[in-house]
Amino acid sequence: EEQLVESGGGLIQPGGSLRLSCVVSGFTVSKNYMNWVRQAPGKGLEWVSILYSGGSTYYADSVRGRFTISRDNSKNTVFLQMNSLRAEDTAVYYCARVPGSPFYYGLDVWGQGTTVTVS
């Protein structure tokens, strides 16, 4: 079974840092396109970042320069390093997979989410 399990969320003061982890089972991280998507309390979904299978990374304007997506192939895990956190970064952060061409296939497998509160 394909599964994503996020962890690393918590309460952090403005200006602080957190590293989120997404442990993957059932498929290989390095052969897929891995994303982070967040949802602020009572709000809609916001795409945060994508890590291509080839290693390219892209970020939403709201987090570029502060967040870094990466992966550890040996652990089949994706990370989101979040620095200089702001109150507006408060959200549930989901890890999600695109199984192929990023813009043809949608996000077909999602984790349960991890909550980040910046206050």
Partner 1 sequence: QSVLTQPPSVSGAPGQRVIISCTGTSANIGADCDVHWYKQLPGTAPKLLIYGTRNRPSGVPDRFSGSKSGTSASLAITGLQAEDEADYYCQSCDSSQSGHWVFGGGTKLNVV
What residues make contact with partner 1 under the rule CB under 8 A? 35, 37, 44-47, 50, 52, 56-58, 60-61, 94, 96, 102-108, 110-113
- Pick from 107, 82, 88: which is nearest to 20 by CA? 82
The CB-of-15 to partner 1 minimum distance in angstroms stands at 26
The CB-of-5 to partner 1 minimum distance in angstroms stands at 12
Would you say the C-alpha torsion 12, 17, 96, 62 has a positive or negative sign?
A: positive
Q: What is each CA distance from 20 to 81, 85, 104, in whole angstroms?
A: 6, 13, 27
Residue number, 16 or 43, with CB nearest to partner 1: 43
Q: CB under 8 Å to 30, separation ≥6 — which residues? A: 53, 71, 73
Residue number, 41 or 87, with CB nearest to partner 1: 41
Residue number, 57 or 83, with CB nearest to partner 1: 57
Residue number, 77 or 111, with CB nearest to partner 1: 111
At 76, the amino acid letter reads N
